Amino acid sequence: MQVVTDPGGRLLWLSPALPGRTHDLTSARTHRIIRICERQGVPNLADLAYQRCGPWLTTGTKRKPLQDLTPTEKTLNQALAAARALTLERQR
């Protein structure tokens, strides 16, 4: 399932369920949520599964094989995770 909330944690959209083995990005594309958010001008914070999905999705940086993240990349990833966790925490 895909869930979209506003910054206050209010539910904006909940997708129908797909089989559990469906990758997050496949699910988002199936339900066209990335395209809809882009058309509506809705920016999104997303996890690493959504990298390179367009300018409306902000994701962290993946570590490249045999390379560590820079201190700046680590800090940005932590800030993004904290912002996403705030939204998730508000939903509870």
- Residue pLDDT, tens place only, 31-73: 998 888 888 888 888 888 888 888 888 899 999 999 999 999 9
Measured on CA atoms in the order 81, 86, 87, 92, is the torsion positive or negative?
A: positive
If residue 45 lies in a helix (H) or strand (E), which one and from where to where? Answer: strand 44-45
Tell if the pTM clears 0.85, that is, is over it.
no
- What digits encode the pLDDT tens for the residues 78-87? 998 888 766 5
CA triple 48-52-23, angle to 5 deg: 50
